[in-house]
Amino acid sequence: MSDTNSLPPPPDLCETVFSACEDKAGLPLSKMIILGMLAGIYIGFGGLFATVALAGADSLPFGVAQILAGTVFSLGLALVMVAGAELFTGNTLMIGPVVAGRIPAGRAAGALTTVYLANFAGSIALAVVAVFAGLHEAGDGAVGRAAFELAETKTAKGFATTLASGILANTLVCLGVWLAYAGHTVTQKIFGLLLPVAAFVAAGFEHSIANMYLLTYATLVQGMLEPSTALLGISDIFGNLLPATIGNVIGGAFVALAYSAAYGKPVKK
């Protein structure tokens, strides 16, 4: 039985993460799709929670409101890591085992593509259900306005800015995943991921899967807001997701390759 009070040394933690990546790459397609959809929903729940926290937060100092939103957003990754789901951004850590020769590149690419699309499907499903639930009407429409204003901010960024922001976002998310794998208990896992996730949200960095939910939801509710708005479209969603996704892949690769190089590209025992 493992000692829940001791944390694994970095080389052992690297082996744990890379072994988990191997398992993820080898999942059956049906399971990959189901767990991918769940991750899209879970990260969407984090975005939903953060939007509620930001609704009517104008009276708070900017940094305080952002930290609050980031803290509650960590619900999403906590559900992924503890309940179990397949998240594209965290799974970009597969790049480390690929370079180490532990996962065929084609298998990893297929797994990442499948999970990305499943994440998108789950995010859209949650956004649609949230609209029918009338979430945008909460707080006399404050939740809907907060979601739209956040989406406006994200889609107004240029390609290079969004790409760089995506790199920083997934560097932090993958570090959160890395620290969660170090934990033996639910509490340890949640505390491990909490600060990295809160940091990326508070800083306003671009996480492709979170944006799938947020931008879809904001696009759906924009015509229901007062005053009525109609500024976001499909092109705005994909104009954000393309550079954010590229940046997320780079950020995940950075973490995976750095640890792979530091610990000698460990092989599975």
Per-residue pLDDT tens digits for 12-25: 999 999 999 999 99
The DSSP secondary structure of 202-243, one letter per residue, reads HTT---HHHHHHHHHHHHHHGGGSSS------HHHHHHHHHH
pLDDT of residue 56: 77
Residue 159 and residue 247 in contact, taking contact as beta carbons nearer than 8 Å = no
Give the separation between CA 172 and CA 177, rounded to whole angstroms.
9
Mean pLDDT along residues 90-100 = 96
pLDDT of the residue at 211 = 98
What does the pLDDT look like over 122-168, one tens digit per residue? Answer: 999 999 999 999 999 998 889 999 999 999 999 999 999 999 999 99
For all residues of the chain together, what is the average pLDDT? 93
pLDDT score for 265: 58
CA distances (Å), origin 179, targets 77, 193, 251, 252, 266:
12, 6, 16, 14, 18
Share of the chain above pLDDT 70, in %: 94
- Tokens 């640890």, residue located: 259
Is the pLDDT confidence value at 1 over 80?
Answer: no
**256: exposed, middle or buried (Cβ count in 10 Å: 0-12, 13-18, 19+):** buried
Least confident of 1-5, 100-104, 199-203, 263-267: 1-5
Q: What is the pLDDT of residues 23-70, one digit of tens each?
A: 999 999 999 999 999 999 999 999 999 999 999 777 788 889 999 999
Say yes or no to pLDDT of 209 above 60: yes
User: Peptide bond preceding 227: is omega within 30 degrees of 0, i.e. cis?
Assistant: yes
CATH code of 28-262, in short, is 1.20.1080.10
